[in-house]
Amino acid sequence: MTLRTDMDGFRPIDPITIRHDFPIFERDFAGRRLAYLDSASTSLKPRTVIDAVTGYNARYTANVHRGIYTTGEEATAAYEAARVKSARFIDARDSHEIVFVRNATEAINLVAYSWGRRNIRQADTILLTELEHHANLVPWQLLSQEKDADLEFVAIDEQGRLNQESYDVLLRTRPKLVAFTQVSNGLGTINPVREMVAKAHDVGALVLIDGAQAVPHGPVDVQDLDCDFYVFSGHKVLGPTGSGVLWARKELLDEMPPFMGGGEMIREVHLRRTTFNDVPWKFEAGTPDISAAIGLGAAIDYLTAIGMDNVRAHERDLTEYALEVLPREVPGIRILGPRSATERAGIVTFNLPDIHPHDVATLLDREAIAIRAGHHCTQPLHERLGEDATARASFNVYSDRDHIDRLAAGLRKVQRIFERPGSRAAVASQAVAAAR
């Protein structure tokens, strides 16, 4: 299922009430409360997730799949329950198709290393896009260099949308693999995933989808998308860092060789030979981050109770509001990416004329407003856009219109500071511009 673009029939989210579930909002920042607008980088953690992690460490710490004593069995049950919850969250057919990893980056590297090194040959084509996060670019660069394969890239238009004519032309190269993001972390662009997957399958390609920015923003159904690999990070869906998921069709996982060797991923080990465990444990060597997986399960429970359709409707409302308010209230602001909230997730990327994004973020921090500034791990995208860096505000269930109003007011204040002749901020920014 692609991210829904309509908002009819959804239950409104009350961010003020939700913020009571997040301890960080109780913190005082020099007399101000935090306006956290960097959820695309990492999301905040509700108390239920924190308690789940603490509960494992305090009450039933043990390794999984090993101890036959009480706490060992409790740990294993909680760990495997998180796998079942992850499968249901993205509508996987079987929880055995869920491999726990540290993050989406590790998941993509696992596919590149295991499936890629077995299946990619000299002169094969791997098709990516100009929107990709470095995590869905660098592993394929390394693989293509090792195998002497070819990388091709789907172009974007002036609004940061994938050019489907470019995609159709590049599919004529009959790529072995097509890998692309469902939602751009740089611009918030929502890609037409289902249609792109179908076209790739028509030419015999497998498809990997980077869902790191999609899973937090709305319902995902991997069966409906009909992709072959899907990855996401737990820390972007209110879960702990160090948690993440690789989903793949079980027949692919069965055929793929192990990613790492060691304990847990084995069935039998002899001095000169080893037989490997069943999937998914074949890909989970050594002691995993047990508490992070359990925390991810708690985060999924939290979001499921809210309803991911409701999350999508809430973030679309905030995005529409930001696209309306920021241009009206902040003179000269330039917003990048699709102009319609129906084509983007809860991410708004922008620049202010003659003010470096790092300066913008630093000054907003004085107002307890947290945004991201830089290239957002998408340097090729920024090169394509002709930008050294950008500022980015991103939303989640705890975000509301007041946060956007504070952002607009903060940006006007930044502009006033830089308008003062000879101000330290203006001089510093001029020095940075001169150095570039």
User: 142-159 pLDDT, tens per residue?
Assistant: 999 999 999 999 999 999
Catalytic residues: 377
The pLDDT value recorded for residue 277 is: 67
Q: Comparing C-alpha atoms, which of 382, 394, 402 is closest to residue 132?
A: 382
Question: What's this model's pTM, rounded to 2 decimal places?
Answer: 0.93
DSSP assignment string, 7-30 = -TTPPPP-HHHHHTT-GGGGS-BT
Give the tens place of pLDDT for each residue, 254-300: 999 998 877 776 676 677 776 776 778 889 888 999 999 999 999 99
Q: Is 24 in the same domain as 103?
A: no
Q: How far apart are CA 131 and CA 154, in angstroms?
A: 9
Give me the residues of the chain with pLDDT under 50, please: 1-2, 4-7, 431-436
Q: Is 243 in the same domain as 284?
A: yes
Of 266, 282, 305, the last residue of a domain is 305
Q: Where residue 196 sits, what CATH number does that domain have?
A: 3.40.640.10
Contact 265, 258 (CB under 8 A): yes
Of 262, 287, 305, the last residue of a domain is 305
Q: Is 143 in the same domain as 270?
A: yes
Supply the range of the domain harboring residue 53: 48-305
In this structure, what token pair is assigned to residue 149?
A: 């394969």
Q: Which value, to the nearest 10 degrees, does the dihedral of the CA atoms of residues 345, 333, 372, 137 take?
A: 60
